[in-house]
Amino acid sequence: MRSINKTAVLGGGAWGTALALTAARAGRQVTLWARDPNVVSEIRSRQHNPRYLPGITFDEKIEATSDLRDVGSADALLLVTPAQTTRETLRALAEIGSFAVPIVLCAKGIEQSSGKLLSQVLSEELPDAIPAVLSGPSFADDVAKGLPTAVTVACENSDAAEMLAIAMAAPSFRPYASTDVTGAQIGGALKNVLAIACGAVVGRKLGASAQAALTARGFAELTRLGSALGAQNETLTGLSGLGDLVLTCSSTQSRNFRFGIELGEGRKAADLIAEGGKLAEGAHTAKVAVELGRRHDVELPICEVVAAIISGSLSIDKALTTLMSRPLKHEAESGRN
Ligand SMILES: NC(=O)C1=CN([C@@H]2O[C@H](COP(=O)(O)OP(=O)(O)OC[C@H]3O[C@@H](n4cnc5c(N)ncnc54)[C@H](OP(=O)(O)O)[C@@H]3O)[C@@H](O)[C@H]2O)C=CC1
Ligand SMILES: O=C(CO)COP(=O)(O)O
């Protein structure tokens, strides 16, 4: 694998811009591709992205472009468009080249139409690429402001994982290398669904005890599904698993948590989605996560009620009764459903 200097970031939203800044701070030459020409022009002319990172102006040099061909010569690509657009973005890349370089998946979700992890989608669309994942507790705003952050960077090839970690490491950004590509994706995908549940508890004023219980039982779900798919325990209890779950299940900075708060306050999921507000990936992953669980004989009761609330078939009150009236069991058994 060639060394990583030229880095391309695909996606001109909050996280794409924050990661482009991080790569520039790490000393990389960065090209940021955004489909919105306004974002490109704001970055080029005034070094900011007011639509997605309001109030943040940066000194770092980032080449912004809306021509995908400009990323063709990158040593590594970071894919930072929403999870459900991953296949579309990869197909657009495939028209330019075969990209036999690391492609780092930074979105958090599972493809709705296929139930596949984004690394599987990547292998199907760009088989020559080296699949990698960047995930962990990291709000774009915090990262863009240079606040201290640690994440997991996973790639099956251990040397490639280490090279990517080195390429992205900056004084305020600390990547930990891992070879567990599956584990790093399960945490990010499920924590978004579980953060919606915790937000609903807060919006419904059900109390801090309920919020903590839901976070812990949510972690049991994340661990069960991750283990069934072959994830390593260290990943699930690490930054991309427990770390990100704790962050998003407790902070109003999280869009998924805020989406849940609105549900708890009585808003309908369909209305919130139709309004096209901030991206809440968990709303798109809940149902497919439950289906993935069923395929692997793993019960995900919290994800299940979140999926049902989002589809409009279950009220928050009934969801609470459903969870509280499940058969009693030993806590030690809960690793097995
Ligand atoms: N924000 C955060 O703190 C973090 C986000 N993530 C993950 O990163 C992913 C992206 O999130 P984030 O950047 O915050 O989202 P934003 O909503 O801030 O930005 C989404 C970006 O993706 C672009 N986009 C949407 N659809 C397409 C498409 N079909 N093709 C090309 N570009 C498209 C949007 O373009 P346009 O403006 O034209 O609509 C926009 O630039 C999510 O999966 C999220 O979970 C992970 C860690 C932290
Ligand atoms: O993934 C994130 C932090 O790690 C961002 O969470 P939200 O998408 O819920 O804002």
Please give the ipTM for the structure prediction.
0.99
How far is Cα 246 from Cα 286, in angstroms, rounded to an integer?
18
Q: What is the CATH number of domain 6-179?
A: 3.40.50.720
For a ligand 2 pocket test, name from 135, 242, 256 the mutation site with the most ligand atoms within 8 angstroms of its C-beta: 256
Q: Which CATH class is domain 183-336?
A: mainly alpha
Which pLDDT belongs to residue 2?
73
> 76 pLDDT exceeds 70?
yes
Which pLDDT belongs to residue 276?
85
For a ligand 2 pocket test, name from 240, 253, 263 the mutation site with the most ligand atoms within 8 angstroms of its C-beta: 253
CB of 116 within 6 A of ligand 2: the answer is no
18-43 pLDDT per residue, tens: 999 999 999 999 999 999 999 999 99
Share of the chain above pLDDT 70, in %: 99
CB of 106 within 6 A of ligand 1: the answer is yes
> 336 pLDDT exceeds 60?
no
244-274 pLDDT per residue, tens: 999 999 999 999 999 999 999 999 999 999 9
Has 116 been annotated as catalytic?
no
Which pLDDT belongs to residue 102?
98
Rounded to 10°, the helix 255-264/181-203 angle is 30
83-103 pLDDT per residue, tens: 999 999 999 999 999 999 999
Distance separating the N- and C-terminal Cα atoms of the chain: 42
Tokens representing residue 79 in the block:
């894919």
The closest-lying atom of ligand 2 relative to the alpha carbon of residue 135 is 4
Amino acid type, 213:
A
Residue 211's φ and ψ, nearest 5 degrees, are -65, -45
Provide the edge-to-edge strand list for the sheet that holds 76-79.
63-65, 29-33, 6-10, 76-79, 102-105, 130-135, 149-155, 173-178
Which pLDDT belongs to residue 312?
96
Q: Where are the domains of the chain?
A: 6-179, 183-336
Picking from 151, 144, 147, 193, the residue whose alpha carbon sits closest to that of residue 172 is 147
CB of 12 within 6 A of ligand 1: the answer is yes
What is the arithmetic mean of pLDDT over 295-306?
98
SS3 string of 297-329? Answer: CCCCHHHHHHHHHHHCCCCHHHHHHHHHCCCCC
Find tokens 């260290």 and name the residue: 234
With contact defined as beta carbons under 8 Å apart, do 247 and 137 qualify? yes
**What three-state secondary structure class fits 169?**
coil
The pairing of strands 149-155 and 130-135 is: antiparallel
With contact defined as beta carbons under 8 Å apart, do 102 and 4 qualify? yes
DSSP secondary structure letter of residue 157 = S
149-201 pLDDT per residue, tens: 999 999 999 999 999 999 999 999 999 999 999 999 999 999 999 999 999 99
Identify the active-site residue in 145, 191, 205, 318.
191
pLDDT tier for residue 337 given thresholds of 50, 70 and 90: low
What is the arithmetic mean of pLDDT over 96-122?
97
How far is Cα 118 from Cα 116, in angstroms, rounded to an integer?
6
Q: Which residue has the higher pLDDT, 331 or 105?
A: 105
Extract the runs of DSSP E, i.e. beta strands, from 50-148: 63-65, 76-79, 102-105, 130-135
How far is Cα 44 from Cα 66, in angstroms, rounded to an integer?
11
Known binder of ligand: residue 88? Answer: no
Neighbours of 213 (CB within 10 A): 16
pLDDT tier for residue 335 given thresholds of 50, 70 and 90: low
With contact defined as beta carbons under 8 Å apart, do 104 and 133 qualify? yes
Amino acid type, 297:
D
41-63 pLDDT per residue, tens: 999 999 999 999 999 998 889 99
> 334 pLDDT exceeds 90?
no
Provide the H-helix boundaries in 115-251: 118-125, 140-144, 158-168, 181-203, 208-228, 233-236, 244-248
Q: What is the mean pLDDT of the chain?
A: 96
The model's pTM is 0.97
Matching fold, domains 6-179 and 183-336: no
How far is Cα 87 from Cα 121, in angstroms, rounded to an integer?
6
